[in-house]
A and B are shown apart, each in its own frame.
Chain A
Amino acid sequence: MKGMKGWVLFGVLSVLALTLAACAPAATPEPAAEAEPFKFGLVLVGPRNDRGWSQAHYEGGLYVEENMPGAEMILFELLNPADKPEATLEGVVDDMVADGAKLIFTTSDEFEEDTLGVAEKYPGITFINVSGDDALTGEAPANLGNIMGRMEDMKAVAGCAAALATQTGHIGYLGPLINFETRRLTASAYLGARYCYENYRELNADDLEFTVTWIGFWFNIPGVTLDPTEVTTNFFDTGVDVVMSGIDTTEGIDVAGQRAAADEVVWAVPYDFEGACETAPFICLGVPYFNWGPAYLETAAAVNDGSWKQSWDWNPPYWEDLTDNSRTAAGWVNGEGLAAELQAHLNDFISGLASGDINVWSGPINLQDGSEYIAAGAVASDSEIWYLPQLLEGMEGPSE
């Protein structure tokens, strides 16, 4: 059957061709016009129920609807080239504006550039690009602001929990793509881990292995990114016993849960969403999560009464109670996998951060190439943290 071999070869070849080819976005749909009470748009890069990044934003939108009379959310999910190759941010925004949205949250770094474009196209509508910095750099028109939660502190807490738990002294970080945001978050986790490895475990922090593998996007796109399931599996195979997730979805803790079912001693630290531990609670050390509700509500109220001013907000956690979702922008919940005596250490670390006695971003801190970034005795400024150019010395994995 020569013919069949030919077809199979053709099939394999065409898949290869598709693997090598990149993806391209396409045209926009047309709008229609009308207006109403207070409508706001929420554009998500993933699905509203991913138990990760996108769900956290969706809950933020629900929080606004619950707490602001007359507020109504217009939702658009899965705006990314893999799931909706035909959709563009401009098309989505056209529709939302046509439906009467006065305020639109574009909730991914993926939308940063396009948000600039639509903000110029619709000067009467307020735009918030989450995680961007256009309002800081002055590139943004006056109707475009930025919001981000100060996750760096919570990532330090997460790193601390990982360092307290690890038996092999090797932590794996499941990273998305490489940019300023992911570098500083990963570095914060590493600094938190180092601090706790040294101060609570009383071990040499230089012996702590911290490996970062970037999959290439915020979540798995078959054929385009590394498969997070495989990466996590590979972590555990190569001596890692705590996997910290930096991606939008839950593969890290899913795989850890599978492995733990065969009595393997492993843990996971998921990310983004308060309920992320639920997949495998017993091996979950805790989760650093975003709580967008309060900031979204404040913004919606300000836009509604006309008092909104452009700003670049990097909202801090509410240190008195990191799980107070009416106040904190970034939170931390302990997981069931974190043993009681480790919890005591972690609480001590958290109160140190809260009081300012501990600052993991204090020098000396060297970049991955060995050059000095923060001198001994100095403390990193906000902009030094935000624009971290490389990973840090001691971290394994690519910086760009």
Chain B
Amino acid sequence: MSDELIGIIASILLQASPLIIAVCGETLTERVGVVNLSLDGSMLLSAMTGFIAAYKTGNLAFGFLMAAAVGAFFALIVALASIRLRQSQVAVGFVLTLLGDDLSAFLGQNFTRLPGPTVQKLAIPGLADIPILGPILFQQNLIVYFAILLTFATWWWLFKSRPGLRLRSVGERPEAAFARGVDVNRVRYLYTLIGGGLVGVAGAAYSLGVKIGWSEGHTRGLGWIALAIVIFGGWSPIRGALGAILFGATKALATVLQRTFPEVSVVAFNALPWLLMILVLLVVSSDITDRLIALSPRPMQRPLRRLLKVSPPKALGTELVEG
């Protein structure tokens, strides 16, 4: 493998890392049955908050902490509105999206285009020298290590641990979980907050590492992409991470194509990854895909359905009706 290809793959992983973090967070949230649709807004606001906090104090950890707090706060509003006030999660989330966008533009206006502190790369001694894998996985930015560990930790927690089982039961059959003595709403609050906090971390991962700095609309659109990837990923962190990497790859491809076809407008290439996401969303959720799968040879149908179709937690977006 050429150094060039290795370098590009390593960068795709870097590009994908904040998305992976956000996808893990949102997957946790949706697995307990809550849709936090505010991702695009909360990511912008936390990217801004993280940048300013780190810029003012010079302390990166503080930046990430504040960003996580902002993300968790937005998630708390969603949780309160739906669990306490029984309002539509989708509507509240959508309004928060717009609020986060405008608020970040307003509050961050004196901090645009400034050079701030950045998260650095860290080569892991020993492992970094492995050919091919070393440069891709072990000479990476700290954000990448965090995203990879988080993906596996989330997967393990969801599917291999006891609390994870309870978590999923709350998202699939809340009434049954309730009958077994699980405090459904408490579990929902908990994972909505954790998920929101991770979305906040993802925002700061952009402004402090992957898309350095802050300007209005700095991460605009990426929250929607994260939401789309959660669906594409079938509410599994590992498949979600692969989706984020696929998205990162199209972004990298857009940069390469831009250089190869300089006469085509930059805007066209910037639009490319979004078009791809729309296509993917349509494929995984459309009935047409079902019909196409039904046309394929019988032994192929099961694996194809597993690959192309996803189904959400059954109680997603609903409230627990107690008693």
Contacts and interface: CB of A to CB of B under 8 A. Distances in A.
A260 B163 CA distance: 42
Interface of B: 3-4, 7-8, 10-11, 14-15, 35, 37, 40, 90, 94, 97, 109-110, 112-115, 118-123, 128, 139-141, 209-213, 215-221, 224-225, 227-228, 231, 251-252, 255-256, 258-259, 262-263, 266-267, 270-271, 274-275, 277-278, 281-282, 285, 312, 316-317
18 contacts: A1-B312, A8-B224, A8-B281, A12-B221, A47-B112, A50-B113, A50-B115, A51-B115, A83-B112, A219-B113, A220-B215, A222-B220, A226-B266, A229-B212, A230-B15, A237-B10, A254-B213, A258-B209
A274 interface: no
Interface of A: 1-5, 7-9, 11-13, 15-16, 18-20, 46-47, 49-51, 78, 82-83, 211, 213-216, 219-227, 229-231, 233-234, 236-239, 248-251, 254-255, 257-259, 261-264, 279, 397-398
B40 A19 contact: no
B220 to A, nearest CB: 6
A222 B219 contact: yes
B115 A258 contact: no
Majority SS at the chain B contact face:
helix
A190 B219 CA distance: 34
Given A47-B114, A213-B259, A255 B212 contact: yes
Contact of A11 (B15, B227, B259, B285): B227
A15 B7 contact: no
B211 A227 contact: yes
Given A1-B316, A262-B121, A50 B215 contact: no
Contact of B274 (A15, A233, A248, A257): A15
Contacts of B211: 222, 227, 229-230
A16 B274 contact: yes
A259 B120 CA distance: 7
Contacts of B281: 5, 8-9, 12
B90 A263 contact: no
B196 to A, nearest CB: 17
B112 A262 contact: no
B224 A234 contact: no
Given A11-B224, A227-B211, A249-B115, 16 more contacts: A9-B228, A9-B278, A12-B224, A78-B112, A83-B112, A219-B113, A221-B215, A224-B266, A224-B270, A226-B255, A230-B15, A230-B252, A237-B11, A255-B212, A262-B120, A264-B139
